[in-house]
Structure formats: structure tokens, C-alpha cells
Structure 1
Amino acid sequence: MKKWIAAAVVVVLVLAAAVWYKAGSAPAVVETPETAATPAPTATPAPTPEPAPAATPVNADSPDYEFDVYVETYKYDNV
């Protein structure tokens, strides 16, 4: 007898879930003055292209230039 009751409960739950799914599980959204005044989203702007890399200086292979680049990078990376 308990198996029949359990089976009936399962059937009722499955039917209730099907009806709930068909009806739409989310409750209806009520339009409030706050949501009505919200402007529609706009299209995202196109990303700006990155600037072309600067020309390599003439002394780029010298140790002094590499040290200067390291110092400048270190200054801004470790703020």
C-alpha cells in the first residue's frame, strides 16, 4: 500500500512540475516607476585601436638604454 501512495505522490509532483514549467517558472515582472524610467541599454562602442609602436631608438642595444628602460618600468610598476 505504501508503494501505491509513493507512486501517486511522484505522479502528482511530476504533473505539477510540468504545469509549472509550461506556465513559466518565473513570476511576472511588474513594471514599477523605477524600472520604467531605466533607459534601454545602448550598443557597446567599438574598441579604440592600439597606437602603433614607437620606433626603436638608435641606442636600444646599449646597456645604458636597457637600464633606463628597467628603471622607468620599475617606477611605474611599483607605485
Structure 2
Amino acid sequence: MNRRGNCHDNAVAESFFSLLKSERVKRKIYKDREQARQDIFDYIEMFYNPVRRHGNNGGLSPVDFEKQYFTKLSGV
């Protein structure tokens, strides 16, 4: 948070961590920190960015949205 008591400063991060907890971590027990780290890395890099559709991206995954953006930007 940038300002004391202003929850809107950190809304994007809070939203992401809420999704991470509800879609991946909830009710899981990891045997060690490395297993947890790998599972969270897989969630972000193998599902959240390339596959999961986001409402603010017109229903596209972040990877697809970025591809679309740079295609439009280059005029191809």
C-alpha cells in the first residue's frame, strides 16, 4: 500500500493473491517449501499467464492479450 489504510492502492496484488489462494493453494499441503514454490510457479507460468482468461483483457489470457496488442502496434 502506498498510503496508510487505502486498500485501493494494492487492489491488483490483492486480487491476484485471492485467485492464487482460491484456485491453487487452498486445501493443499506441501511437504516442503520447494514443492510449494514449484506449484505456485507452475500456476503462474503454465496456467495464469498463458491460459486463464481475464475479464479486463476482453476474455483473453495475458499472453494472448499481449500478442494481440503487439500485432496491432506493428500494423501487421
Which TM class, normalised by the smaller chain length?
A: under 0.3
Higher relative contact order (CA 8 A, sep 6+): 2
Greater CA radius of gyration, 1 or 2? 1
TM-score when normalising by structure 2: 0.27
